[in-house]
Amino acid sequence: MSMSLAEDDDKELYIDDSGCTGAFYNPRASLSLEQQRQALPVYRVRSHLLYLLEIKQTLVLVGEAGSGKSTQVPQYLVETGWTSDGRQVCVTQPRRVSAVTLASRVCDEAGWRLGEQCGYAVRFADCRSQATRVLFATDGVLVRLLARDPLLQDFCVVMVDEAHERTFHTDLALCLLRKVQRRRPDLRVIVSSATIDADAYLKFFGDSAACLSVEGRQYPVDIHYSASPVPCYMAAALDTVLAIHRRCGPGGVLVFLTGQEEVLRLVQQLREAAIKVRSRSPLMIWKPRGCRSSSGQQLKVFALYGGQSARQQLRAFENVGQANRKVVVATNLAETSVTVPGIRYVVDCGFQKLRVFDPRTGLESLAVCPVSASAAEQRAGRAGRTQSGAVYRLYPESEAARQLPHTPAELERCDPSPLLLQLLSMGVRDLRRFNFLSAPAPGAMARACELLRALGALDSEARLTSLGARMAELPVAPMLARSLLAGAELGCGADICGLAACLQVDVADVCGLAACL
């Protein structure tokens, strides 16, 4: 389906009526949480999934976004006694916000208290207890758990969720889990996502793995493309949100942009639009009349990006009441796993920022790239979770045909030195023989070894030094870790932390780090 860019007198993006029905399609709104759980597509394969886990060490679980993988599978495992001996199920997420919101959702569904039977562990926040049986953690935390207890004795099942994101930590965790399974055949690994190349994972895990597909989506989602390329996706995103607000039925809007700066700019523009509407008087002035929709709702606009505190991020998940329409402007932080309640419309700018490494200069930078087909599908999957929805892609359908199927793995496009340091600190001796899911380029590997040697993390025989072991304990890039340790030794740790904060994209993380040193 395409949306046409017709210039009406408001110069706004014209949204065709097919995506703008006022009718809600949510036949399950009145069901109890238990009934809603049983209506999820994954419930239909519950017995099969549990059977496969009995007989196979690894399960590759592929199911549409919103089908219930992340919230239901850990509950099935608890219900069927996997954790009755006191061991835990760990579900990893690439991002903190999804680990926290999923833990809270599972508690609501199961009637548990957050931090007791089900908790979360993310960088600088730990909400779990002795009673915890289901732990939602970031993939970075899992790597740290593996470093502390290489056999993961406290866990019976590890579910690596959103594996398609191919983050540095997800790939590293999978490589290490595969090694752990050789020593612990009872450890089960579930690799799950809506958009993974299941064959690649089946090949990686070998005969001990099986694949299970979950058919069906929670609610239908209509996909709309722009009729022609948009000259400026920021302007198009603004116009599209306002057009949805004026013409479409109730329901929240989630907009995907590439970074914090863009998010804040659009939030500002939308907030201004929420208190001003263009007067059609001959004077053509802006009057503070409120940006009322056809359904009489007011816009409530929230930002959602990685540099916010956890508290700021969670504001986007708050209920805004019937009188308001929620608009969440997000980076790809909201692309996977999260359910923002009430979202009915998604506006996708079609681009994302990716970290890329130039082996010639040894520097990493953020590049704006078109999204892959998998990322576009994940973004679309944020609609249709609590009601039927629509996605407005700000690019023509012909562009979609040119998208890469998957976003390249972080290991293939970033500086591999943090990974090498982690692996060496975990006792891996021969990096050349390490079985990667997809190995870094040989040139990048060689350069990373040179850098680690120059920083004093490796000796002349490529063995980890005690300084390297200390560097590996800090959750930052090796160059930064070395600076922080040197700063602490020279009595200027706080100053170096400040400088490190300026160099980090995620400032909140470095502030937490200052407390650790």
372 lines the binding site for ligand ATP (CB under 6 A): no
Report the relative pairing of strands 118-122 and 125-127 from DSSP bridges. antiparallel
Residue 13 or 102: the one with the smaller Cβ distance to ligand ATP is 102
Residue 316 or 421: the one with the smaller Cβ distance to ligand ATP is 316
120 DSSP β-pair partners: 127, 136
Query: What's the rounded Cα separation, in Å, for the pair 318 and 309?
Result: 15
Q: With contacts defined by CB under 6 A, name the span among 165-173, 283-291, 331-339, 451-459 that binds ligand ATP.
A: 331-339
To ligand ATP, the closest distance from the beta carbon of 480 in angstroms equals: 31
- Angle subtended at Cα 378 by Cα 389 and Cα 31, rounded to the nearest 5 degrees: 45
Residue 316 or 485: the one with the smaller Cβ distance to ligand ATP is 316
**Coil, strand or helix at 414:** coil
65 lines the binding site for ligand ATP (CB under 6 A): yes
Residue 96 or 247: the one with the smaller Cβ distance to ligand ATP is 96
**What distance separates the 2 farthest-apart alpha carbons in the chain?**
79
The beta-strand segments (E) located in 114-228 are: 118-122, 125-127, 134-138, 155-161, 188-193, 209-214, 221-226
332 lines the binding site for ligand ATP (CB under 6 A): no
Residues 61 and 214 sit within 8 Å (Cβ to Cβ): yes
The set of residues, in sequence order, having a beta carbon less than 8 Å from that of 327 and lying 6+ positions away, is 241, 245, 252, 253, 254, 255, 270, 299, 300, 301, 302
Residue 15 or 97: the one with the smaller Cβ distance to ligand ATP is 97
251 lines the binding site for ligand ATP (CB under 6 A): no
* 377 phi and psi angles, rounded to 5 deg: -70, -40
**């959750």: which residue's tokens?**
475
To ligand ATP, the closest distance from the beta carbon of 476 in angstroms equals: 28
71 lines the binding site for ligand ATP (CB under 6 A): yes
Choose, by CB under 6 A, the member of 341, 362, 408, 498 that binds ligand ATP: 341
To ligand ATP, the closest distance from the beta carbon of 219 in angstroms equals: 8
To ligand ATP, the closest distance from the beta carbon of 20 in angstroms equals: 22
379 lines the binding site for ligand ATP (CB under 6 A): no
Residue 70 or 138: the one with the smaller Cβ distance to ligand ATP is 70
61 DSSP β-pair partners: 192, 212
**């979609």: which residue's tokens?**
400
362 lines the binding site for ligand ATP (CB under 6 A): no
**Which two three-digit tokens encode residue 18?**
């097919």
Choose, by CB under 6 A, the member of 252, 306, 381, 475 that binds ligand ATP: 381
Choose, by CB under 6 A, the member of 66, 307, 440, 478 that binds ligand ATP: 66
The count of chain residues that interact with ligand ATP, using the rule CB under 6 A, is: 21
Written in H, E and C, the secondary structure of 247-308 is HCCCCEEEEECCCHHHHHHHHHHHHHHHHCEECCCCCCCEECCCCCCCCCCEEEEEEECCCC
105 lines the binding site for ligand ATP (CB under 6 A): yes
Looking at residue 3, what DSSP letter applies? E
Q: With contacts defined by CB under 6 A, name the span among 64-72, 345-353, 361-369, 485-493 that binds ligand ATP.
A: 64-72
Q: With contacts defined by CB under 6 A, name the span among 254-262, 378-386, 406-414, 481-489 that binds ligand ATP.
A: 378-386
92 lines the binding site for ligand ATP (CB under 6 A): no
337 lines the binding site for ligand ATP (CB under 6 A): yes
Q: Name the H helices within 39-85.
A: 46-55, 69-79
To ligand ATP, the closest distance from the beta carbon of 392 in angstroms equals: 19
Residue 223 or 480: the one with the smaller Cβ distance to ligand ATP is 223
- The binding track of 44-63 with respect to ligand ATP, each residue x by CB under 6 A or -, is -------------------x
> If we measure between CA atoms, which residue out of 41, 92, 94, 35 comes closest to residue 64?
41
68 lines the binding site for ligand ATP (CB under 6 A): yes
Query: What's the rounded Cα separation, in Å, for the pair 321 and 298?
Result: 10
Q: Which of residues 180-219 bind ligand ATP (CB under 6 A)?
A: 194, 218
Residues 204 and 178 sit within 8 Å (Cβ to Cβ): yes
344 lines the binding site for ligand ATP (CB under 6 A): no
The contact set with ligand ATP (CB under 6 A) reads 40, 63, 65-72, 101, 105, 194, 218, 336-337, 339, 341, 381, 385-386
